[in-house]
Chain A
Amino acid sequence: LPKPRPLPDPRSFLPLTPLAFQVLLALADEERHGYGIIREVETRTDGLIRLRSGSLYTLLQRLLDEDLIVESDERPAPEKDDERRRYYKVTDLGRAVLAAEARRLESAVTEARRKHVLGRTKA
């Protein structure tokens, strides 16, 4: 029997690179294939972040190595699918890391707001 691996501390992955954060975010709500991730990130960031396939697949490999994502076995309906496509989903660890990173960013933004970096809010 393989020994269960202890779950690493999600905070040890912080801070994530913006690309890694975006990829995890893209997989947060549904499983996607590589090209789906590219499109999701692109539409969500209004074209600001445009991943290239080579970069994406290298990053996906890293995320796989770090156990933040896994390849999914579930496939969509055959008429929408291409058998050669690989689908990815976030692991529990990946979800925890994503949340930790989001919280970190949130506190940073809060801090920035407190210092009126984003302009003064109306009292």
Chain B
Amino acid sequence: VSTVTGWRRLERPVRRALRWSAARVSDRRQDKIAYAAWLACVDAAERRGPAAFARTTLAEIADLLSLPIRMRAGFGPRVSPVHRVSLFHGSPMTLLDDFRRAARRLRSNRGTLALAIGMLALAIGVTTTMFTVLDALMLHPVPFRDPDRLTSVVIANGPRYLPSVDSQVVRAWQASGAFESIGGALQAPVDLDTGDELVTKAGALITPGLLETVGVRPILGRTFAAGEGRPGTDDRIILSEDIWSSLFHRDPGIIGRRIRVSGVSTEVIGILPAGFRFPRSRTVAWRPIDLAAPPPGQERARPTAIARLKPGLPAADALQIADRALRAAAKTDPGDHAMFRPLAAGMVDKYSTRAVTALSIGVGLVFLVLCANAMNLMLTRFSARQREFGVCSALGASRARLLREALAETALVGVAAAAAGLALAAALVSLATRYLPEAFLTSTLAPVGISWRAVAATSLLALLAAAIAGLTPAWMATRIDATDALRAAARGGTDARSYRRLARGLLVAEVALAAALLAGAAQLVRTFVNLMSADRGLNAEGVITGWVSLPEFAFKDRAGRLAFASLLEERLAQMPGIQQVSLSDGVPPGTGSIYFGGVRSDLPGVPEFADDLNIYRASPRFFELFGIRLLSGRAFAVPSAPDEAIVGEAFAKMMWPGHAPVGRTFVFGGKTTYRVIGVVGEIRNPLLDPRTDRPEIYLPLVVAQDGRAEASAFGRGQILLALRCGAACPGLDVISRTIRSISAQVVINTLGPMEADYLKELARPRAAAALAAIFAVVALLASAGGLFGVLNAAVARRRREFGIRVALGIEPARLTRLVLADAARLAALGLVFGVAGAWALGRALASLTYGVSPVDPLTWTVVVGSLATAVLLAAWRPSRHAARVLPAELLRAE
């Protein structure tokens, strides 16, 4: 009694609190409720002490406070159940129980669930992988600290801009205070001597402090200090972890070691992490340059400027300051002004952008197909459990309760699928980085890898996938008319029918998506085939090409290079198995020099050619070796006159329409006049980007100058070597050794069959086609599997009916046909929708295809054919089962 009186003292404040909580309920019942709540609290105090009193009081207040909200949402206490759902009703303990029960059930039904989890994991895995690629290429191409404040600074004038600037301009910008920091970078390849061989790698000269500006820390050693990069302090190099691993076997003693870099003994001072790529995507070695006192040979360097903006200073103000500094520091043309350009701008070309977008759409479709399939599996599962739900419901379980149970199971499936999907994605990403064409992956500064963004994406996808796959089946399974749930479910009543309808609808959607994907993939595959088989205007078969680069430190003058070249040609021609040798400064695909316009014909009235053209400097045997037809005139002699030129057919038609080109002249770049001595067949570059197919001009490689022969090319110190083999080519190592025997100081790059170069050029269309084909096959298999499941279930359900029909004398073959016809109907309906989808997809693919029309009959034959095969395979067993129903057996079972 004394405790009671003790609590009574608390009565006033607690009841006030309770009444305040109940204030929103209604005035009339306020006191009543508060009083009952108070009684509950006092009772708790009397029976179980102060802790229980406090707990009960808090629980009561919480209940009262949440009541109006629950009432408004329709979750309040009711007399009769209404189909409203509360997922959040119940304590965390019961939620845990839900999961425990769900886990138990999942263990007891491994087959279906493993399949569902597998489907979802596959969906999540491929989508995450695609997202990772998409993220690195398009969403976050600059993976540095505070990338928004990093920018390159260029000089713009009207629509044009110069990406590089004079070094004094960079220094003026450094002094202007417009930026937190700014530095310059130059591309400068390095010839690394590993002791065994010379390896050429992409490198850069950077100003000290630039690495700090970008925000990278060395994993070993240090970065450049101010003052490094002057004559005397320029023999330092920082290497990428990649090179450190591949060339130096992660030797921990690398720091401080001196290696030969482009012929100069250079000290390694630091190692940067493997993922760091800057300023270009392939840069793996950095040397210092001090723009105030550059090392010899770099006095006239024009670096690109990379700046970090000041946090407080608006970009427009920074630009203004930079502009003033620019005008003060250098002679400028009217209209020149400083401009910011994103660091990663222009790194990812249109093809990659489009291909990655299209493939992402494809992956999205595969995701949907797999989710639909998983949903179908969950549907089967929940429809089997409907009877159980019926019993639970009859015993008083609310729908919310059932739904919660169903969702707990779905959530577990989702979590399992997310984990498996993430693992799969990690494996796929490492596969992708290994096998996807470099051009796809290294055209960005961001390394392709699983990041936290990818993990977030995975989680989101898992949520989405589980929601798609689990919500509707759970919703349907718990929609129970309690009074006759048991009987209806047993007999296959209305709910079972709606299950079937949904399952078949899903199947039609799957078939449609698979058909659209197939059509898209077929177009990309045909594109690749077309590109491969297109006429290139030259014969690459049996040709070996390679780049021989003559490092400047070893071949100081033109005469030396020419001597080497002649010796090279001579020695190789003597090798057994080699029919012809030619030297040039490039050959399709992809090499040679590209010039921009400025060509005038000697024919009056012909407009100046103002477009890109390819110029190849070639030795006389070039045309014969590559099988480029000489249409008129003659080939080069050795040596040729310096003004001789051979032109391609297309160029000739443009310059001298209706006239014989041989003997005519043209002026290049406003000063040099060339005389046409021959016309050759056009080299075509069958690529998706028609701009890469430029008209050609050929100039002689070796010219007679002042009475002696001189090499016109090799300015860059590189010679393209081409060999045509007879019946059998000599091994590449034999060729390499022969070249090295002439001079040990040359660097041989990419020596191999020319066909391989073409394949590389087409690597992206090939990868796109292969990926699309994989997506399509996955979608096709998934829909075939789904079809199999649905048909199997249908046959099992109709066993009785079939048995009766057999008993009445129907031919079993007709039952087979019945099931097959059912499958065909579903597939045909899917195909109809698929055609619409393919049309939409075809429009998205238009820029990625070559010589394929979206209504291409072959494409559609393939689509319909593979679809029909898949359907037939899926329907085969169920249809045979239908025919094998034994009426006697069925009757016994009844």
User: Footprint of B on A, CB under 8 Å?
Assistant: 13-21, 33-35, 38-39, 52-59, 61-63, 66, 68, 84-86, 104-105, 108-109, 111-112, 115, 117
Contact = CB atoms under 8 A, between A and B. Distances in A.
Contacts of B33: 53-54, 57
Interface stretch (B34-42, B144-152, B882-890): B34-42
A14 B81 CA distance: 8
Contacts of B388: 117
A14 B22 contact: no
A54 B22 contact: yes
B80 A53 contact: no
Contact of B77 (A15, A56, A84, A117): A56
B865 interface: no
A62 B78 contact: yes
B59 interface: yes
B60 A39 contact: no
B479 to A, nearest CB: 14
A108 B394 contact: yes
Nearest to B394: A108
Q: How many B residues are at the interface, by size bracket?
A: 35 or more
A20 B35 contact: no
B79 interface: yes
Contacts of B77: 17, 19-20, 55-56, 58-59, 62
Interface stretch (B63-71, B265-273, B591-599, B791-799): B63-71
Contacts of A39: 43
Q: Is the interface of A mostly helix, strand, loop or mixed?
A: helix
26 contacts: A14-B80, A15-B80, A16-B79, A17-B77, A17-B81, A17-B398, A34-B39, A52-B63, A52-B64, A53-B36, A53-B39, A53-B64, A54-B21, A54-B22, A54-B33, A57-B32, A58-B25, A58-B77, A66-B79, A108-B391, A108-B482, A109-B395, A111-B394, A111-B486, A117-B388, A117-B391
A54 B25 contact: yes
Contacts of B78: 17, 19-20, 59, 62
A18 B396 contact: yes
B2 interface: no
A108 B486 CA distance: 9
B60 A54 contact: yes
Contacts of B396: 18, 21, 105
A95 to B, nearest CB: 15
A105 B391 CA distance: 10
B63 A54 contact: yes
Point out which of A53, A86, A117 has the most chain B C-beta atoms below 10 A from its C-beta. A53
Contacts of B81: 15-17
A33 B152 CA distance: 79
Given A55-B67, A105-B394, A13 B79 contact: yes
B76 interface: yes
Contacts of A68: 79
Contacts of B109: none
Nearest to B31: A84
B663 to A, nearest CB: 102
B40 A38 contact: yes
Contact of A58 (B67, B387, B482): B67
B67 A112 contact: no
A105 B32 CA distance: 33
A19 B401 CA distance: 14
Contact of B32 (A16, A17, A34, A111): A34
A68 B177 CA distance: 83
A35 B39 contact: yes
- Max chain A Cβ within 10 angstroms of own Cβ: one of B25, B396, B398, B486: B396
A34 B38 CA distance: 11
B154 to A, nearest CB: 68
A113 to B, nearest CB: 10
Given A35-B40, A35-B43, A62-B78, A57 B483 contact: no
Given A14-B80, A53-B36, 12 more contacts: A15-B81, A16-B81, A34-B39, A52-B37, A52-B63, A53-B64, A54-B37, A58-B77, A86-B32, A105-B396, A111-B391, A111-B486
A53 B25 contact: no
Contacts of B43: 35, 39
A61 to B, nearest CB: 7
Contacts of B634: none
B497 interface: no
Q: Which of A20, A56, A58 has the most chain B CB within a 10 Å cutoff?
A: A58
Contacts of A18: 396-398
Contact of A108 (B21, B25, B37, B395): B395
A66 B394 CA distance: 23
B29 interface: yes
Contact of A112 (B22, B76, B391): B391
Contact of A35 (B22, B36, B76, B80): B36
Contacts of B397: 18
B808 to A, nearest CB: 32
Contacts of B31: 84
Nearest to A106: B394
Nearest to A21: B396
B147 to A, nearest CB: 53
Contact of A52 (B59, B391, B398, B483): B59
Output the residue of B33, B36, B387 with the most chain A CB within 10 A.
B36
B36 A34 contact: yes
B67 A56 contact: no
A42 to B, nearest CB: 10
A35 B42 CA distance: 11
Interface string B39-72: 1100100000000000000011001100100010
Contacts of A57: 25, 29, 32-33, 36
B307 to A, nearest CB: 63
A78 B21 CA distance: 30
A29 B395 CA distance: 22
A39 B43 CA distance: 10
A53 B60 contact: yes
B20 to A, nearest CB: 13
B380 to A, nearest CB: 20
A34 B395 CA distance: 25
Given A111-B394, A117-B391, A56 B482 contact: no
A16 B482 CA distance: 11
Contacts of B64: 52-54
A15 B392 CA distance: 13
Contacts of B391: 108, 111-112, 115, 117
A59 B79 contact: yes
Interface string B393-437: 011111000000000000000000000000000000000000000
A53 B76 contact: no
Contacts of B80: 13-17, 20
